[in-house]
Structure 1
């Protein structure tokens, strides 16, 4: 390979052939298995969408009922995992707690038989079922409280919000949260999905794969961006300060968290859906200063940077929704992970079908023929 072939970050270089999802960044199109994200957000549920992503087709009523039943049955986690989480430092970030907990699942379900469809299905069910439980559990444990056990009579979204707040959520909130999970479930070969596929290509267990993807998702340039959005809005402080804030950051070429995307050159279709959800929340429950600042910021940036394709992405409005739910900021990215597990598992299954271990090359730019210097002369 010649030096001129090098692309920092592998930008634009295909790493796999996939049928899981499709993005057209020029036209703002996102499809899961060929189904438009707008259709899924309007007509599907997160578990139905997860079934579509992982098994490749929309389930029948009987298939979906069986899938939901299995996930409901497996929501609880081993007490030893809860005990392990009680040893985590209270100041630890929930993403670090989730990565460790996801990896620990492999200790309890380590029978690795990647040729067995029953093993694959059991791993899919356990990860989808237990990741939300572990996220909610750590939130209570770090406050010195026992976790709230899951309820079998609640849906996936309702149950997570219940475990988090020990209060059954408003059905309106639960539906919005379920749509948020759908929108974050999959997005082609992003950093965490690439991490998942590389780990999967070694034929390790799926719990290690999810743990590696969680670690990748935690960075502020990936899943952590929605946390930074709220911090940015807090820094702005008021609608009147939006214009000077924008002008100052443009002058020093600083980034605006929640704006711009490596793929989309128009507004992220997920952001469009989320904005409508935020508007529905405001119409029902009233506005707040974060919402007002966010809308003004979008307007000003569209005027200043719209011609450069700098539009809101999925992180911009999701943080506003989660904050309105009363969810702590540092749980935003773990919630992203709850959703993205379905996408990671879909890519895991696809990787297994025609597996070849990832082994990219490098371009060496160091020195040659250097002498070994004795210790006394260094």
Structure 2
């Protein structure tokens, strides 16, 4: 509800702009009345623009707080399974015991993919990046689920969400197996969501008795939870914008995967490992950090655009990282290098004063590396986890009246000019 109005004077004309209060966070000024003034607002990067109203996720960057449906992220990561969090994102509340059993069973029923989808993989080069494959095969799901799909229908929305969340680990693991030249492993529905993904990633037909490590399984489930949703980020906004056209929801999720791929978004954890490769050895860390201070190089996996102090997801991820490294006893020079970077960033006043703390990408990259997951799969796992958030936002939009997204621009090109025939052009 609009509580008060802001007043804007443009060329002597005064316009009243409603101030709208949410349940948490900053109030927003409804600038729709600007259209009458002949002016538009200008906000590169949408830094102070709220184009949607949502009840799903809340972030307070100053406090370092992340809430999903009101539940703090650390409590969810430490006490709930990823699929419970997915249920809450979709439905507004954590499931009770009966709802949990029913939702988990529905997910298990839909983990398999149509056998014809295997042929899509064969169209990719063997050295194709797994994210390139994911954009293609997830988009291809729209060819299998399109007839009579009506997202104004609650049952259709539910089955769409279940299919996507259930099939994403299968497609992700298939993308990895294809890139490795290994046979696909079909899902095992006696495993949990995280166990099943690890099984499809690492088991082979000659090792069907593969049992995921309990510590690794818990770590993977937490990685899924900590990446499940993050409000109106670039990929979520892409999914919503595509969805606002009425596009097939599977195609919308593929659009989100494409947006996530960028190194400034989901590709950041991959960029962390690439940075460690560039540094080389622990002995090079002090010199590298001096280059960071002089802005000669960029420090990947530290700081965050939204959080002005410690990323709340990183706190949980650091604890998980320590558990995994201890349990696996991994002796990897690259992990030793990462710990050296972390130590300097947490102790050096330069980084502390600028709130350049390790973020969730830094620790998740280290964990995935320790588990044995290749760098090229890091963003795929991010996409797998974020699917629950993407589809929750898309279906929230479809559950109420909405408008097609149509931003405007500040035009700085040529003014109107006459066409000149080619023989008369200079």
1:126 matched to which residue of 2? 163
Partner of 2:23: none
Q: Does the alignment pair 1:175 with 2:218?
A: yes
- Distance across 2 between alignment mates of 1:249 and 1:311: 14
Query: Contact between 1:227 and 1:319, CA under 8 Å: does it hold in 2?
Result: yes
The answer for the alignment partner of 1:220 in structure 2 is 263
* Structure 1 Cα separation of the partners of residues 127 and 182 of structure 2: 15
CA contact (8 A) 2:219 2:324 kept: no
Which residue is 1:295 aligned to? 339
Question: 1:198 corresponds to which residue?
Answer: 241
Identify which range, 102-111 or 154-163, moves more after superposition. 102-111
Q: SS at the partner of 1:142?
A: helix
Q: Alignment partner of 2:195: what SS?
A: helix
Q: Which runs of 5+ in 2 are unaligned?
A: 1-33, 204-209
1:305 and 2:360 aligned? no
Kept in 2, the 8 Å contact 1:86–1:142? The answer is no
Q: Counterpart of 1:153?
A: 190
CA–CA distance in structure 2, aligned partners of residues 35 and 197 of structure 1: 23
* RMSD, aligned α-carbons: 1.6
Deviates more, 1:50-59 or 1:286-295: 286-295
Alpha carbons 2:151, 2:395 under 8 Å: kept: no
Q: Residues of 1 paired with 2:151 and 2:53: CA distance?
A: 20
Deviations 1:69-105 (CA, angstroms, capped at 9, x unpaired): 1111111111111111122111211111101111110
Within 5 A, what are the aligned runs for 1:1-378?
5-111=41-147, 112-166=149-203, 167-286=210-329, 288=331, 289-302=333-346, 303=348, 304-352=350-398, 353-378=400-425
Higher mean alpha-carbon deviation, 318-327 vs 234-243, is at: 234-243
**Could you tell me whether the CA contact under 8 Å between 1:70 and 1:125 is conserved in 2?**
yes
| 1:17 CA drift (Å) | 1.4
Q: Do the aligned residues in 2 keep the contact of 1:41 with 1:182 (CA within 8 Å)? A: yes
Checking the alignment, whether the CA contact within 8 Å between 1:27 and 1:266 is kept in structure 2 is yes
- Counterpart CA distance in 2 for 1:9 and 1:195 is 13
- How far is the alpha carbon of 1:253 from its aligned partner? 4.1
* Alpha-carbon offset, residue 68 of structure 1: 0.9
Report the secondary structure of 2:180's partner residue.
coil
Q: Is the 8 A contact 2:325 2:367 kept in 1?
A: no
Which structure's relative contact order is higher, taking Cα pairs within 8 Å and 6+ residues apart? 1
TM-score in terms of structure 1 length: 0.96
Q: What TM-score do you get using the length of structure 2 for normalisation? A: 0.86
Which one has the bigger strand percentage? 2
Asked if the contact 2:244–2:403 (Cα under 8 Å) also holds between the matched residues in 1, the reply is: yes
CA distance in 2, matches of 1:277, 1:164: 20
Q: Which structure 1 segments of 5+ residues have no match?
A: none
- The Cα of 1:249 is off from its aligned counterpart by 3.1
The residue matched to 2:59 in structure 1 has which SS? Answer: strand
Is the deviation greater in 182-191 or in 295-304? 295-304
Q: CA deviation at 1:118?
A: 1.6
The secondary structure found in structure 1 opposite 2:380 is helix
Shift of 1:208: 1.1
Alpha carbons 1:3, 1:363 under 8 Å: kept = no
**Structure having the larger proportion of residues in helix:** 1
